[in-house]
Amino acid sequence: MASQKSDENCMDSSTEINIPAVPAENNDQSRNDPECSDLDDLLTDSTSYYNNAKKYWSNVSPTVDGMLGGFGSISFIDIRGSEQFLKQLYKQKPAPGRKWALDCGAGIGRISKNLLLPWFDQVDLVEQDEHFCETARKELADFTSKLGTVFNSGLQDFIPEEGRYDIIWAQWVLGHLTDEDAVQFFVRCAKGLARGGMIVIKENFTTSNVVDVDRTDSSVTRPLLQMKQLLKQGNMRVVKEQRQTSFPKELYPVYMLALRPIIKN
């Protein structure tokens, strides 16, 4: 996870906790900052931007510390907060089922192993880095009967099976999606939900209306308001929102959002 920098800065050069999928496009940078203008030009070439992110993560160690950008010590706190949030979702009406879950940007399977597999009958993973996929299969060997398919794919290309998943979990990965691809990802995931199902996103957010861009791993950290606008465009509504607590103060604020498709009359 990125060390929290001043939101007055156009660019955050630190490393962020993210499982590789695809990079995100920055549309909110200050037009008066030459550095930001150069970055806008860079982001117009989404193919190179995606490839840069893929290259970055191909050199990251397939360990919990590697997945969490050197902040492996927060993994327990993170999982505990997610579990508490998940429990609250099952008080919703209708509550999701507990048959199938999907771990998006799964890395080496940290979230699947510690959160999703104990909760669900079957869990699929989608992860862009082949080495991480191989490590995940080894890490999750004890869950053979519950482990479904490990899809080696970026989220910009992944299409969930329609009506399959009770919970789709996407954590620290949407910062690698362009705005357009994020919207289309939500649209596809909505179709992938089973009756009563939910999407959960857990992400870093800036404390201002400025998007922080990380050249190192080709990712962005968006304002919460901008994410909600993308969700609306993707036909999703927020049914529950909660901030993760007990993280180091230097880190970005992290929020969990539970989503359901917007019902149109």
At 181-231, the pLDDT tens digits run 999 999 999 999 999 999 999 999 999 889 999 988 999 999 999 999 999
Strand 254-261 and strand 193-204: the pairing is antiparallel
Q: Is 175 annotated as a binding residue?
A: no
Would you give the distance in Å from CA 263 to the centre of its chain? 24
Q: What's the burial of 153, exposed, middle or buried (CB within 10 Å: 0-12/13-18/19+)?
A: middle
Kindly list the distances between the CA atom of residue 10 and the CA atoms of 22, 146, 257, in Å, as whole numbers in the listed order.
21, 44, 26
What pLDDT, in 10s, does the model give residues 84-137?
999 999 999 999 999 999 999 999 999 999 999 999 999 999 999 999 999 999
233 belongs to an annotated ligand binding site: no
pLDDT band at residue 47 under the 50/70/90 scheme = confident
92 is in an annotated binding site: no
* Residue 222 assigned as binding residue: no
pTM (2 d.p.): 0.86
244 in a known ligand binding site:
no
